[in-house]
Structure 1
Amino acid sequence: MSGGIDSSCIASTQRPMRDAFRVWPALIVFLLAAATAPGQFFRVYEYKTADAGAIEFSYWTTYIASSDQEMGYFGKTVSREKMWAHSFEVEYGLSHRLTVGYYADCLDPQGGSFEYIRSKLLARYRLFEKFERPFDLALYGEYIIPVKDYDNSEKFEFRLIVEKDLGPIRIALNPILEKKTSGEDVNEGVEFAYAAGFYYDDAGDGLWNTPDVAVRPGVEFYGEIGEVSASKTSSRQGHYVFPVLDIYYTRHPGWKAHWNVGTGFGLGGAADDVVLKSILTFEFLF
């Protein structure tokens, strides 16, 4: 987070309005798309990656406060209501553009025990530099390896990260493609999902800031529509809307912290009703 607006940011706000009109068709597609299976972890990835040589540690927490959904869990069916989900992540900046990382995901539902459910291997790569193109672009790949008793299908997930600053508003879009690479359902087609965020960023100052802290409000949207060639029916669809706050702490030169916290509201028959999420990240510079 920067302490003010630099010349590149000013130049970006003066780009022709046609850039804005290029954004809106994509926004309409993502916001009208509908979700299917309820999720445990919610994050909109933005263009920026970890600094070169930096290590990021993140702790993700999700709590399903209200839900009428059920799920399979190690051979039995359990309610999703009052379920906790935890994820532990480490990322390393190989360069100023390329980041690699690892996740360990765990679930703790009512009627079940706390269990490790899967590992994820990831890589993120930034294309170009900030404001070199009409949109800031990055690529994200993730390979998911579940515990066999939880899920017998390994998966590959690809995200295109599209970011655009329009005045003080930052827009981040994540169209997502997912393909099962093993298991009984390996012959299923490619599935499509999305994550999208709209934030009052104001060149890093957010809505409120001091020399050490900046607070940025926003709203995030998440959803899945099933296979690209055969989306699921409306009765099995839903989506999530999350008002969020991003709190950035940058006082110390050797490390910084970022807390993304929000409350999500599910819309549609397949969504949980109320979801609380928290992602706490510490980045250490070496």
Structure 2
Amino acid sequence: MVGEESPAADPSQDYSIVARGLLKSFGRLRVLNDLSVRIPRGTTYCLLGPNGSGKTTFIRAVAGLLRLDGGYLSVLGEPVHTVDRVYPRIGYMTQHKALYPDLTLRENMEFYAGLYGIEGGERDERISELLEMVDLADHIDRITGDLSGGMYQRLSLACTLIHDPDLLLLDEPTVGVDPILREAFWRFFDGLAEGGATILITTHLMDEAERCKTVGYMRGGRMLAEGSPEELKRLAGLRPILRLWVKDPRASASSLAAEGLPVEVVGGVLQVRIEDTRRLKEILERVEPSDLRLVEPSLAAAFLRLSEGGSR
């Protein structure tokens, strides 16, 4: 049965999510295809991948909202088929609208607080704190259906956080949120992770993925690459580029190429792909540039390279 395994098979309690060989199909479409991943407690973990790669399906499986066809999945130390035991410790913010449009912001938050048995002064204090955090305190009695898209996202996040969950599942939570508030959200997420909570997030915003401790790249229902943002760039075959302004770019390029360095001239500027940082001093001494700039590869470039199936 999915999710059942002897306790000795995974004795560690250091992981919020442990998945091995997950399978899920919708008709003839295989959405999760032998997916395996372990996500530690107290971390920020970003799922990247093209549309249809299985990210949302995986999050829904973790939340206990769909039945897997095979594999093993545990959530907060419990097999997924007993997720009801840990459900009060999970916060899930879906891409779809899940709030009541005819209720005010206060009433929506009171409803979600009630689901987790939060009442009285504790409830009121928590609502005030979270609405302040998402910059909606001045709109507490406004009808939810009248909110803009960005304000709705902010209220959804506040409702997701009402019970102070140990595991946050956030499916593109900052869509439509302005950069200043996104920064505030991420400071809050980082604080939660430092306190021991786990944040699993999907996003198409590469600057957000860069902020996560670990990035997992999915394609075709599999986990193809995993590591820190810097490690993922290297797995995609990307390296820093050293741009050098020199008197005779072509002569300098020939000199460096003779030493086995990957070099080219672009727009009259020497560009050297840095495979080994220990050779930087050698490069600078050989060409004596008048100016230089080190260009780090972006996670967006790594995403494109991995989407195309390329690495080197």
TM-score calculated relative to the size of structure 2: 0.25
Q: Which has the higher strand share?
A: 1
Rg comparison, structure with higher value: 2
TM-score by length of 1: 0.26
Q: Which has the higher helix share?
A: 2
